[in-house]
Amino acid sequence: MGKAIGIKVKNFDTKADRKYFTQKCSQFWLEVISEQINALPVNHDKKIEFAKEVVEEVHRKMEKKKNAATVTISCN
């Protein structure tokens, strides 16, 4: 497994600030993941299957870290 990066965000003044930050992070990582999956040397069906697995894993990890102050992102 790759190096883990810890991200801790503090001092959001409003719920709107937190929501905006979350949306921007989600958008960024979806774009990164999409580019990486598209670059895989496998057929389209395998890419779709792999993308679904990635999304499921992200959701599982989000549930575990729901109340955590630090989000850990693994980079390969």
pLDDT in tens, 2-42: 555 566 666 777 888 878 888 888 889 889 988 999 999 99
Res 4: pLDDT: 57
What distance in Å separates the CA atoms of residue 63 and residue 20, rounded to the nearest whole number?
A: 20
What distance in Å separates the CA atoms of residue 43 and residue 22, rounded to the nearest whole number?
A: 32
Residue 63 has pLDDT above 90, yes or no: no
Res 44: pLDDT: 93
Distances (CA, A) of 32 to 51, 53, 55: 12, 16, 13
